Amino acid sequence: MAGEFPAGFIWGCATASYQIEGAAFEDGKGESIWDRFSHTPGKVRNGDTGDVACDHYHRYLDDVRLMQDLGLKGYRFSVAWPRVLPRGYGQINRAGLDFYNRLVDALLEAEIEPFATLYHWDLPQALQDRGGWPNRDTAKAFGEYAALMFDELGDRLTNWITLNEPYVVADIGHRQGIHAPGHQSVEECLAAAHHLHVASGLAVQAFRESGRPGQIGITCNLAPIHPASDREEDLAAADRFDQWLNRWWLDPIYRGHYPQDLLGLLENRMPEIEPGDLELAHQPLDFFGLNYYFRQIVSHEPGEWLDTKVEFGPGPKTAFGWEVYPEGYYEIMTRLAREYDVKNLYLTENGCAYADRISEDGEVHDPERIAYLEQHLAQVARALEAGVPVRGYFLWSLMDNFEWAMGYSMRFGIVYTDYETLRRIPKDSAKWYAQVIERNGLP
């Protein structure tokens, strides 16, 4: 395995606003759907909320210093839409915008390239009150918010990601109901998915119109979908689920239409697709952002969603119960290059949760995470060798943070967050990652 990565490869870490910022009700920030959801009893493990999270809003300078110590070349964060526009549109909250201005300046000063995600799940509650993503107006509001951000930060910030994991927003938030807003409706899920496509397209359009320099793309979570057996019905079930998890996003973006077979099955539950919607979704992107965590094993299960049963594979598991399956990373990366002709690929998230704790020596030893990262980065190197145009890797996550419905129970960081004191302790994996960055490759 080649140790060296291409010159200029961006080694980064990723985070998201609601998961780390805290200051949930400070300096004029509006309520988000995650503020509302996490404060609703029974929705988040242990009743955890993001009220304080890692207090990054107040400690961002220390956190940038930490990133600098690790030698990070890039940092992917997200902007909390309701911090900037408390109601989602209209009145701007200058204090909120200033926070992102200061963060970007601090990153640039530290020679860390900022990558900003415009939507990582914290929708302004005021927009949810008007119907949220299933309402087409939310896409329009997103386009306007995106234009504002290009206007305000686009003189210095040149890497933009429209949405993070729209599949999770639509499916887990609106069909499964595990994430905010916690709804369970196929129709709402399909409408949300479609409006997310439109929203991303409007943001791309606004970026081009802004004339700002830089690049814009979208981040999706994709997974290899493997049939549970080679029985005909399992093969068909796996194909249906692939159309749902992967192609429901990739096909509109890269081919300008939804996957036809699944669309045929869902047609009478779809929202209205207005003329021009798919053209919006299908605009050329400067890059694609891939989040990879696991593969899924699918079998035929009548009566379940799409008549499928979806499981993790038999391999070793992380604390979340997710199968560790590094080969799947290569499979997805090469598929993106082969089937969708992706020209610039950023690996915008990859990482794992383990039950880390502070040892008696005061350090946090996380050999499983180092092994996980080593195995996944080896697949990145393999994909590079096969010609996949990978431009950067953003490890999820810089520090332990609020893991959505699991609250603080899942630790994904390479830096340990002591939630009592908010002290940050770099784990062994952080020291290991610093070496990888310094060498520009695996040892």
Residue choice 188, 349, 368, 400 for contact with ligand IFM (CB under 6 A): 349
Q: Which is nearer to ligand IFM, 165 or 366 (CB)?
A: 165
Q: Which is nearer to ligand IFM, 89 or 119 (CB)?
A: 119
Q: Helix or strand or coil: residue 297? A: strand
| Helix (H/G/I), strand (E/B), else coil: 402 | coil
Tokens matching residue 28: 């004029």
Whole-number minimum distance, CB 217 to ligand IFM, in Å? Answer: 16
Task: State yes or no: cis peptide before 181, omega within 30 of 0.
Answer: yes
CB distance 386 to 4 below 8 Å: no
**304 is a catalytic site residue:** no
Stretch 272-291 residues interacting with ligand IFM (CB under 6 A): 291
Nearer to ligand IFM, 223 or 384 (CB): 223
Interior/surface letters 90-102, b for 16+ CB within 10 angstroms, e for the rest: eeebeebbebbee
The smaller minimum CB distance to ligand IFM, of residues 283 and 322, is found at: 322
165 flagged as catalytic = yes
Residue 200 contacts ligand IFM per CB under 6 A: no
**From the CB of 352, what's the least distance to ligand IFM, in Å?**
9
- In the shown chain, the binding pattern of residues 9 to 28 toward ligand IFM, with x for contact by CB under 6 A and - for none, equals -------x--x---------
Catalytic site residue from 21, 152, 165, 188: 165
Among 403, 405, 411, 415, binds ligand IFM (CB under 6 A): 403
Enter the tokens of residue 88. 């989602």
DSSP secondary structure letter of residue 120? S
Least distance CB 410 / ligand IFM (angstroms): 7
For residue 312, what are its two tokens? 């993790």
| Closer by beta carbon to ligand IFM, 19 or else 296 | 19
Q: Within 10 Å of residue 441's Cβ, how many Cβ atoms?
A: 19
Query: CB-wise, 93 or 401, nearer to ligand IFM?
Result: 401
Exposure string of 242-281, with b = 16+ CB inside 10 Å and e = fewer, is bbbbbbbbbbbbbeeebbeebeeebeeeebeeeeebbebb
Residues 289-328 that bind ligand IFM (CB under 6 A): 291
* Cα–Cα distance, 346 to 16 (Å, whole number): 17
**The two three-digit tokens of residue 111, written as one number:** 């020679």
Candidate list 152, 331, 349, 368, residue with the active-site label? 349
Among 34, 150, 396, 416, binds ligand IFM (CB under 6 A): 396
* Distance, CA of 395 to CA of 159 (rounded, Å): 17
Single-letter amino acid code for the residue at 244: W
Residue whose CB is less far from ligand IFM, 241 or 412: 412
Residue 35 and residue 80 in contact, taking contact as beta carbons nearer than 8 Å:
no
Q: How far is the CB of 131 from ligand IFM (least distance, A)?
A: 24
Q: Count how many Cα atoms sit within 13 Å of the Cα of residue 292 in the half-sphere of its side chain.
A: 30
Residue in this structure with the two tokens 């963060």, named with its chain if needed: 103
For ligand IFM, the closer of residues 142 and 402 by Cβ is 402
CA distances, 328 to each of 39, 206, 307, 385, 425 (Å): 36, 35, 24, 16, 31
Binds ligand IFM (CB under 6 A): choice among 165, 171, 242, 331: 165
CA angle 81, 83, 87 (to 5 degrees): 70
Contact indicator for 17, 395 with CB cutoff of 8 Å: no
Name the site residues for ligand IFM (rule: CB under 6 A). Answer: 16, 19, 165, 291, 349, 396, 403, 412
> Which residues are known to be catalytic?
165, 349
